[in-house]
Structures are given as C-alpha cells and as structure tokens.
C-alpha cells in the first residue's frame, strides 16, 4: 500500500511580510511542485527521505524545523507514527530554496500523501489546515499564504484575519516570470521578527509604508485582471522599494532585481521572506523570459522559468 500527494511551489507577487499584519497579498502557485510518497516501514518509526534538489545547505539548515513540522502534522492528523512504521519520500521538480514555498509544498504534499495512504479523503480545506500546522514548524507564526497557494493553485488574493479571506483572481492568460535564486538560505523567522521589532520602534514611519503597500495590492489586482502587465511591473518595483524600506532585502536580491530590470523585465522584486532566497521578474513572452533568465545565469545564479496565473487546483 502506498500514498501519494503533490504540493505546488509559489511566488508572492505582492506584500510578503505586510501580509502578516492583515494587509492583503497576491500570491500565485507555480508549475513546479513537490511530490510525497508514503509507504510502510519495517521499523516502528517515521522515516523521512528527502530527495529534492536544493540550494547548498538548505536541507541541512532546515532539518530541525522539518522534524518539528512533520511531528506537528502527524499529531494534527491523529497518526501514531511509533505504532505505524512509515517512510515518507520527497521528490519532484520544485528546487528547494528560500522564497518559493518549498516548505509549504512539502507540507501539502505530505498531508495529501498521508491522507491517501490512510484513506482519510481529506478535502482541500482540511489539507490546507494540516499544511498550515506543518508550516508553523518552519516559520513560527506563518501568514498561511504559502500553504494556501500550494494547496489550491492559481492566482490568489489572500488576507490574514480572524477568518482568512481567500479569493481567486482570474487572469485572461497566464504570464511568464523568471525566479532568480541568490543561493543564500534565508531565515524567515528572523526576518519576520526583525520587521516586528523595527515596526514597534518606528510606528509612524511603518504605518505610512504599510498603507502604501495595501494600496498597491488593490491596484495590482485590477491590473492583473485586465492584463495591464506594464502597470503590474511598475507596482512590483514599488513593492520592492517598500520591502527594502522595512529591511528585508539584501545586496544579492537588489543586484538580481537590477539585472532583470536592465534586461527589460516589466518589474522585479524579492519574493518570500527576503534576506536572501529568491527574487521574481515579470517577463511577458517567452523571448523576454529567456533574455532575463540568461542575464541572471550569466552572473552565476540559478533561475526557474515558469508562469503565474495558471490554475492547477480546485479553488472556485
């Protein structure tokens, strides 16, 4: 008997960090995904074999968080791992790096694979709840945006609150993007804590930045729905500036953002927790996508070429 599950990677287009404070964000699933397989294991233990390709030291740095995450999920699902010997194998074409939802994709994939293995028939909403519990092992207090995109696919408007607001954003056509990897493993917990600390010290300055971030998301949603990618790109550039102002960018991220813009990207910004990890460039059309990816690779960095706005899952 085997169980199998899949979780998609993601790219936050607008408002990482701000989303923690109830400001709306826009996130898209990407085509790259993680696959989890569950099978019986001869020892009475939970064994995890991680075969995903990764940024050097990513998996080592996240190992303790990964164990905590897994324990939280099996507890939430009422699975007695010491009674049922289980082996979980992770693979798939989502490269493990900070900023593209690698941890959320693994949580969603594992939750789906365990649900499949034990014939639980969990709904997408229930899978999302289990994955959020798993994300707490990685991020302390996650916004919930990563696991939501990973579970449901598509382009999503996400606002954290008493009851999270999750709405699908319809786009006429998916649009090409390039994700550039700084090669630095980011500590999201530290990044989130740093923003909180600075926000408490400078409430007025931060209120102004946060108000602008909120305004940007509403403008971006309209531009995405009408296919005005020049406007989307302009707003991405502005969003990056705000993220710099709250102290979550880095020298490498700013460098890759400028390489992408110089090569003609409509807009570029960091994506995810910042302080390393990944940036994202809006590159409508295969030709522009290729040009931007080549320019980033020429500087010695890895890229992922994918699209945002394609629907992979079942949110209506």
Question: What φ, ψ does residue 165 adopt, rounded to 5°?
Answer: -95, 120
Choice among 116, 129, 146, 187 that is catalytic: 146
Q: Write out the DSSP string of 57-94.
A: THHHHTHHHHHHHHHHHHHHTT--TTTS-EEEEEEES-
Question: What φ, ψ does residue 40 adopt, rounded to 5°?
Answer: -70, 145
* Residue 75 C-alpha from the chain's centroid: 24
Tokens of 55: 């940024």
What distance in Å separates the CA atoms of residue 287 and residue 237, rounded to the nearest whole number? 21
What distance in Å separates the CA atoms of residue 80 and residue 44, rounded to the nearest whole number? 10
What distance in Å separates the CA atoms of residue 32 and residue 226, rounded to the nearest whole number? 26
What distance in Å separates the CA atoms of residue 59 and residue 240, rounded to the nearest whole number? 27
Tokens of 174: 């998916």
Residue 4 CB burial class (10 angstroms; 0-12, 13-18, ≥19): middle
First to last CA, the chain: 32
Q: Specify whether 146 is catalytic.
A: yes
What distance in Å separates the CA atoms of residue 259 and residue 81, rounded to the nearest whole number? 48
* Degrees to nearest 5, angle at CA 157 with 140 and 302: 65
Q: Give the residue numbers marked as catalytic.
A: 146
């Amino acid at each position: 008997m085997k169980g199998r599950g899949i979780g998609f990677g993601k790219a936050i287009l607008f408002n990482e960090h701000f989303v923690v404070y109830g400001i709306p964000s826009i996130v898209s699933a990407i085509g790259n995904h993680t696959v989890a397989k569950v099978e019986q294991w001869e020892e009475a233990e939970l064994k995890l074999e991680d075969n995903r390709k990764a940024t050097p030291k990513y998996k080592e740095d996240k190992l303790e968080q990964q164990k905590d995450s897994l324990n939280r999920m099996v507890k939430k699902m009422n699975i007695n791992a010491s009674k049922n010997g289980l082996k979980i194998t992770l693979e798939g074409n989502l490269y493990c790096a900070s900023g593209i939802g690698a941890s959320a994709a693994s949580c969603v994939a594992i939750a789906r694979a365990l649900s499949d293995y034990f014939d639980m028939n969990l709904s997408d909403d229930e899978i999302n709840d289990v994955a959020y519990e798993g994300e707490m092992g990685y991020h302390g207090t996650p916004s919930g945006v990563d696991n939501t995109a990973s579970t449901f696919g598509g382009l999503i408007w996400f606002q954290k609150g008493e009851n999270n607001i999750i709405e699908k954003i319809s786009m006429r056509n998916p649009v090409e993007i390039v994700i550039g990897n700084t090669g630095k493993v980011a500590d999201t917990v530290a990044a989130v804590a740093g923003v909180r600390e600075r926000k408490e010290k400078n409430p007025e300055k931060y209120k102004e930045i946060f108000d602008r971030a909120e305004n940007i998301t509403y403008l971006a949603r309209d531009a995405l729905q009408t296919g005005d990618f020049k406007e989307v790109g302009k707003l991405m550039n502005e969003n990056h500036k705000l993220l710099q102002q709250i102290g979550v960018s880095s020298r490498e991220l700013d460098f890759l953002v400028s390489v992408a813009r110089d090569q003609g990207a409509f807009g570029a910004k960091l994506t995810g927790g910042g302080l390393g990890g990944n940036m994202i460039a809006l590159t409508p059309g295969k030709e522009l996508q290729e040009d931007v990816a080549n320019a980033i690779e020429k500087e010695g960095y890895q890229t992922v070429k994918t699209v945002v706005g394609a629907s992979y899952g079942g949110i209506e």
